[in-house]
Structure 1
């Protein structure tokens, strides 16, 4: 998950705060790349130090051990990939089915990027060892989308377009059906084709709205 700019190297003298922060950002980006490439167990602090061009002593001054560096790198990546509220709100064009389909596509597209896929895999494989990353992944990604979808359903119910319902549970069911299944297939190395995604998203949205239609 590279994204850092050119390495920041300082000349003689004490680095500025901006330089120190930039070097730490570079360290986190480099460490994340290595963890995503090789897995937590395989990566060593020596590997990270060599790749980023720092001494181990300098790294330990910033992060007490490999576990704390891993957590800092992965949590930062999760935060950077989190969907801002504005991005979700921009999908709501008043068309209920269209909005739900757009939300599903956005979440699936996130995971289908190389960085999104590697991040999802490391959350899945290391979440048992570092529950913080699993919680952060849920709170910053899934929970935000669930809350947004629940709000969309609440507004639709208030207008009489769907029957009153437990919008939170309906939103969770929607995410599980339309996103969860696709994500599991993608992470397992069996990504659906764009045509399959469109068909499955459309079918699930129709199924949900048919179950919620006023009677």
Structure 2
């Protein structure tokens, strides 16, 4: 006999797993906003809980103190900025200059988004207090891109298109020159125009490839 009774109802007020995950993400996003807005010292658990309509008890059930919440919010922001390997591979069209320019534009573009700019400013202002956020950002977000560029240069050297070099140092120097300078200007509130970005990226790529030209 077919059971025609209605399905059991979820206990009133109990969120679904998806709802709970969304609320947790809202908590981390809001925490990062308030840490940036007020600074780590002045932002409080009470302030964050109020902004997301949670009780302090609910927040403390997940994070034992403000430092733990701060680190979790920053790590999540960093993880959201990680570029999957398949995306990096998709930027490689076989042309040395065009591929390097595409990688540079991608990294600069990340910082120019509201979330990317927020993350960079938090790292700049609070890494003296929490050096682990700088390390985490480098390990999860920066190092994989540098490694991809180094591998790209290694392949180009093996094919005779550039001179053999220390690809790791070359990749780090390239990212520092082409991305670092633009990021500093963006974070300082003086973002370059699209035309300036194109000019600076093209110049840096030419400078790198001229230095690595087989002789």
Deviation of 1:23 after TM superposition, in Å, equals: 2.7
Paired residue for 1:158? 158
Paired residue for 2:199? 199
Paired residue for 1:78? 78
- Residues 159-194 of structure 1, C-alpha deviation per residue, up to 9 Å, x if partnerless? 100011110010011011111111111111111111
Judging changes above 3 Å, is the alpha-carbon distance between structure 1 residues 175 and 18 closer, same or farther for their aligned structure 2 residues?
A: same
Paired residue for 2:189? 189
Give, in whole Å, the separation in 1 of the partners of 2:27 and 2:203: 44
Kept after mapping to 2: 8 A contact 1:157/1:163: yes
Runs of 5+ unmatched residues, structure 2: 1-9
Give, in whole Å, the separation in 2 of the partners of 1:80 and 1:196: 27
Runs of 5+ unmatched residues, structure 1: 1-9
Paired residue for 1:125? 125
Paired residue for 1:90? 90
Bigger Rg, structure 1 or 2:
2
Kept after mapping to 2: 8 A contact 1:83/1:140: no
SS in 2 for 1:163: coil
Give, in whole Å, the separation in 2 of the partners of 1:16 and 1:173: 48
Paired residue for 2:167? 167
Give, in whole Å, the separation in 1 of the partners of 2:22 and 2:176: 39
Paired residue for 1:63? 63
Judging changes above 3 Å, is the alpha-carbon distance between structure 1 residues 180 and 13 closer, same or farther for their aligned structure 2 residues?
A: closer
Paired residue for 2:52? 52
Give, in whole Å, the separation in 2 of the partners of 1:81 and 1:119: 9
**Runs of 4 or more above 6 Å deviation:** none
Give, in whole Å, the separation in 1 of the partners of 2:11 and 2:123: 38
RMSD of aligned Cα (Å): 1.6
Give, in whole Å, the separation in 2 of the partners of 1:131 and 1:157: 36
With normalisation by structure 2, the TM-score equals 0.90
Paired residue for 2:101? 101
Judging changes above 3 Å, is the alpha-carbon distance between structure 1 residues 135 and 12 closer, same or farther for their aligned structure 2 residues?
A: same
SS in 2 for 1:39: helix
- Residues 40-64 of structure 1, C-alpha deviation per residue, up to 9 Å, x if partnerless? 2221111111111111111111100
Give, in whole Å, the separation in 2 of the partners of 1:129 and 1:188: 20
Give, in whole Å, the separation in 1 of the partners of 2:192 and 2:11: 51
With normalisation by structure 1, the TM-score equals 0.90
Deviation of 1:19 after TM superposition, in Å, equals: 4.1
